[in-house]
Amino acid sequence: MNILVCGGAGYIGSHTVRRLIKEGYEVLVLDNLCNGHMSAIAGIPFVNADLCDQSALKQVFHDHKIDAVIHFAAYALVGESMGQPDIYYRNNVVGTLNLLESMLSTGVKHMVFSSTAAVYGDPLQLPISEDHRTVPTNAYGATKLAVEEMLRWFGQAFGLKYTSLRFFNAAGADPAGDIGEDHDPETHLIPVVIKAALGLIPHVKILGTDYLTRDGTCIRDYIHVLDLADAHVLALKMLLGEGRSAVYNLGSGEGYSVREVIKTAEEVTGRMVRTIEGDRRMGDPAVLVASAEKAERELGWKPECSRLETLIYTAWEWHRENPGGY
């Protein structure tokens, strides 16, 4: 089976590519390298292309026999999306429309799509299951929801088969040590906390201390990138086998506050993490915690390495060995 992985040089994409290859799939990575890294996909067939470039996409599907697409390529920062919704809609929604058009024009009808817990907005019930209402509080979540809806309509009209995987907060790194999280600038909590523990940045700014949570800071469900990679392979097998479209949450089911993450990081690393308190970040819901029962029931997926200590430890190892990133 030949799998095109869009955004395969990025953080979650590169971990999934590695897992696919281990499972015997042929992989072609498509990435524009705006956030991806060539060193994350050393030796793997690669096309440098942007999803907004329709002719480049057509060429890829013309030149390669593709059986299915796994689609990670997107802008994914909540804060940034609030200031620049236009570039989020262009890249995430228009880019995916271009990709779907190229797929369908060459008869490729299977897609595993990276969606997000940000589609839910502020939860009415916890943990959040897939049938929870979807009212995003930020433009990033809105673009992912728009794509999910596009997939549903394309399924009805054109027979597209898709799996939307709603990730909660990805973190951690492959314990092999050669791939990990490297964003510039880094805004995600766990790598930011580790950078502070390493002395690469002076402190962590806690973005909001007046949420209605147990300690006033936001609660998130952190999930190991290797568990996400596993889920992609399971979802792909299910999609190519049963051919049934579906939506799944991918989270650990445990929520940790920003302060709890910082405290655990201090314990795991043995280093002190200096903090300062700042304002809320626009668009952030107070709490996001998954129910991933459906993925367990239907895909047989169970997170294996998503204990907070393990997540932080594997991320710590990567950052300690690669303080400047790739």
Q: Provide the binding-site residues for ligand UDP, judged by CB under 6 A.
A: 78, 169, 187-189, 192, 204-207, 218, 220, 258, 281, 284
Locate 208 and state its tokens. Answer: 């909001």
Cite the DSSP H helix spans in 26-160: 54-63, 78-83, 85-88, 95-105, 139-158
- Minimum Å gap between C-beta 205 and ligand UDP is 5
Distance CA 57, CA 264 (A): 44
CB-wise, 63 or 279, nearer to ligand UDP?
279
Distance CA 108, CA 160 (A): 8
Residue in 120, 140, 256, 313 annotated catalytic: 140
CB-wise, 54 or 209, nearer to ligand UDP?
209
- Minimum Å gap between C-beta 158 and ligand UDP is 31
CB-wise, 108 or 219, nearer to ligand UDP?
219
- Minimum Å gap between C-beta 194 and ligand UDP is 11
CB-wise, 160 or 189, nearer to ligand UDP?
189
- Minimum Å gap between C-beta 119 and ligand UDP is 12
Nearest to 195 by CA among 299, 284, 316: 316
Residue type, 246: A
List phi, psi (to 5°) of 57: -65, -45
CB-wise, 61 or 222, nearer to ligand UDP?
222
Please answer whether residues 1 and 19 qualify as being in contact, where contact means their C-beta atoms are separated by less than 8 angstroms.
no
Helices (H), strands (E): how many in the chain?
11, 13
Distance CA 292, CA 304 (A): 13
CB-wise, 95 or 208, nearer to ligand UDP?
208
- Minimum Å gap between C-beta 64 and ligand UDP is 32
Residue type, 115: S
- Minimum Å gap between C-beta 117 and ligand UDP is 8
Distance CA 326, CA 83 (A): 28
Secondary-structure percent of the chain, ordered helix, strand, coil, rounded to 5: 40, 20, 40
Q: Catalytic residue at 89?
A: no
Distance CA 228, CA 251 (A): 9
CA quadruple 67, 12, 21, 253: dihedral, nearest 10:
-90
Which residues does the annotation mark as catalytic?
A: 140
